[in-house]
Amino acid sequence: MHAGLKRSAVSLTPLLAALYAASAFSAAPLTGVYRGEVYSQPNTVNAYSTWLGYDVRMGQGHQAKDSWGNIENPGWQLGAWRTWVKAKAGRRFNYSVSMFPSGQGNLASCAAGAYDQRFKNLASNLVAYELQGTIIRLGWEFSGNWMPWYSGNGQQANFAGCFRRIVTAMRTQQPNAGFEFDWNPNYDISAADLAATYPGDAYVDYIGLDMYDQGWNGSYPIPAGCTGSCALTRWQSVWNSQFGPALTKFKSFAQSHGKRLSVPEWGVNDGATMGGGDDTYYVQQMLAFIFNPANNVGYHSYFDIQASDGHHQLSSADNTGGNTFVTEFPNAAAVFKNHYAGLSQPAQWSTTKATVSPTSVARGQSFNVTGTVTSPSAQTVVVKYEIRNASTTALVTDRSYTAQAFTVGQTRSYTSAFVIPTSLSAGTYRVDTLVFTADWAQTLLYRNDTTFTAN
């Protein structure tokens, strides 16, 4: 699915990428990774976690831009990502979503509502695959002229209008899905275009920027034999002229709108693609910015692949879920890993296995579901029970307990009454126990190991 990336003299950023957010303005940024279009084997994200020595809980995928079918109902992607997300509590999907297929739409039509139903369908399909809470990276890299939804050439207002229509359609169709929307240009977008393409605070959850270590001031590529202080001087020159000012610009813009930043795509680059090579300075500066609470970064995602338009991979993760790859950027990789060696893994929420009583459930009659939830920290959350068909996973009914304020280590019990309608068939059903952040944006716990028979 990776298309050839068109690049300009100023804006050379890969076409694909990114990953999972922290809840509201306080928690450390969520770490994600792009490991290629691994819809058939997202366990390659697990191999990246093994290399990093840190549980990476956000995986990224990108939609194709070839047909409406691959935008509305990309089940070939969503099924595998559902399996990965549901395999461990706290995981989340970051999804780059196309505004329309190449050559089969335009921003003006989108802004007028011509594609609303398409994105209502997408919202329902994401929920059908139990990918609530997905971060939607809608019309990603829109300031790049290689994208079908390019916002230049007088299309700024139409882009903003298209973004609003799609967000409204998806939220209207699935108001409880907890989708978050990332408004994500490239780092070198002008300040004027930032303002002109911004759809409004009501439609944006993250303000994202993609930024790779490629330099255009004459310092890159690093000449052979230029090491030590020679290389450092060139790395610093590119940072000071390109990347530092861009981060300041985005930080100021996000703060003026009260939004979290994201860095959905970033990575070192090989010299053959005008990169800084094994650039430890770039990695140090990026991580320092991302993890500085003053910058309010919700999530970041490293672009850990060897793309056709640039090499970026730091990890040992291979394409089969193993760890046999040898990076060409060993020093940058060591800096990246060392940063995570000093981080503690976020504590896990826990729950008992839900019980159903009476054990013999009759359709049309009430039964109770009971379980307990234990918090590792002081936090206000949503606790939810869902009753689903065990075979089709179709939702039958649910009950949410909102604004549940936990203290550290507190255990709380929840009992809810449910009824399986007589209009549904007899068979096996299941109880799902979920815990969300108070804004519904992040799944902290997901458990579905209670099944029962309804006669």
Domain presence at residue 229:
yes
Whether 23 maps to a domain, the answer reads no
Q: What is the pLDDT of residues 72-100, one digit of tens each?
A: 999 999 999 999 998 887 889 999 999 99
The single residue of 130, 141, 180, 386 carrying the catalytic annotation is 141
Look at residue 87 in the predicted model and tell me its pLDDT.
Answer: 87
Q: What is the residue-wise DSSP string for 76-141?
A: HHHHHHHHHHHTSTT-EEEEEE-SS-TTS--HHHHHTTTTHHHHHHHHHHHHHTT-TT-EEEETTT
Per DSSP (E only), the strands in 164-285 are 180-183, 206-212, 260-267
**62 and 122 share one domain:** yes
Residue 265 is among the residues annotated as catalytic for this protein: yes
Domain tally, the chain: 2
Q: Please tell me the least confidently modeled range out of 189-198, 229-238, 429-438.
A: 429-438
Residue 141 designated active-site = yes
pLDDT for 37 beyond 90:
no
pLDDT at 68 over 90: yes
pLDDT at residue 352 is higher than 50: yes
Structure confidence at residue 441 (pLDDT): 74
Q: How far is CA 141 from the centre of its chain?
A: 15
- Are residues 217 and 365 both part of a single domain? no
pLDDT for position 58: 94
> Which of 307, 323, 341 finishes a domain?
341
The mean pLDDT of 363-391, rounded to a whole number, is 94
Catalytic residue among 72, 130, 180, 265: 265
What is the pLDDT at residue 5? 29
CATH of the domain at 383: 2.60.40.10
Is 354 found in the same domain as 320? no
Domain assignment of residue 18, yes or no: no
Residues 355 and 336 in one domain: no
Mean pLDDT of 18-38: 63
* pLDDT reported for residue 88: 85
Residue 6 predicted with pLDDT over 50: no
Domain range holding 426? 350-454
In this structure, are 303 and 381 located in the same domain?
no
Domain shared by 285 and 426, yes or no: no
Give the C-alpha separation, 118 to 170, whole Å.
9
328, 354: one domain? no
**pLDDT at residue 27 in the model:** 58
Please provide the average confidence, as pLDDT, over all residues in the chain. 90
Residue 15 lies in a domain: no
- Evaluated on CA atoms 339, 341, 344, 349, the torsion sign reads positive
Band of residue 368 on the pLDDT scale cut at 50, 70, 90:
very high
Looking at the fold, whether 317 and 371 belong to one and the same domain comes out as no
- pTM score over 0.75: yes
Task: Examine the fold and report which residue of 306, 341, 376 is the final residue of a domain before the chain moves on.
Answer: 341
Identify whether residues 106 and 129 lie together within a single domain: yes
In a domain, 2, yes or no: no
Q: For residue 21, is pLDDT > 50?
A: no
Residue 344 has pLDDT above 90, yes or no: no
pLDDT at 334 over 70: yes
Q: Where residue 57 sits, what CATH number does that domain have? A: 3.20.20.80
* CA distance linking residue 128 with residue 205, whole number of Å: 23
Evaluate whether residue 105 is within a structural domain: yes
Flag whether 275 is in a domain: yes
* H or E element that contains 61: strand 58-62
Burial of 428 (0-12, 13-18, 19+ CB in 10 A): exposed
pLDDT of 24: 32
pLDDT score recorded for residue 136:
97
Tens digits of residue pLDDT in 222-257: 999 999 999 999 999 999 999 999 999 999 999 999
Whether residues 98 and 215 fall in one domain: yes
Residue 13 has pLDDT above 90, yes or no: no
284 shares its domain with 433: no
Q: Residue 232 is encoded by which pair of tokens?
A: 């450092």
User: Which residues have CB under 8 Å from 36's CB, separation 6+?
Assistant: 2, 44, 305, 319
pLDDT tens digits, one per residue of 103-150: 999 999 999 999 999 999 999 999 999 998 899 999 999 999 999 999
Instruction: Report the SS3 class of residue 65.
Output: coil
Among residues 287, 320, 341, which one ends one of the domains?
Answer: 341
Separation CA 265–CA 187 (nearest Å): 10
**Residues 361, 305 share a domain:** no
174-184 tens-digit pLDDT: 988 889 999 99
Looking at per-residue pLDDT, the higher value among 347 and 105 belongs to: 105
Residue 40 covered by a domain: yes
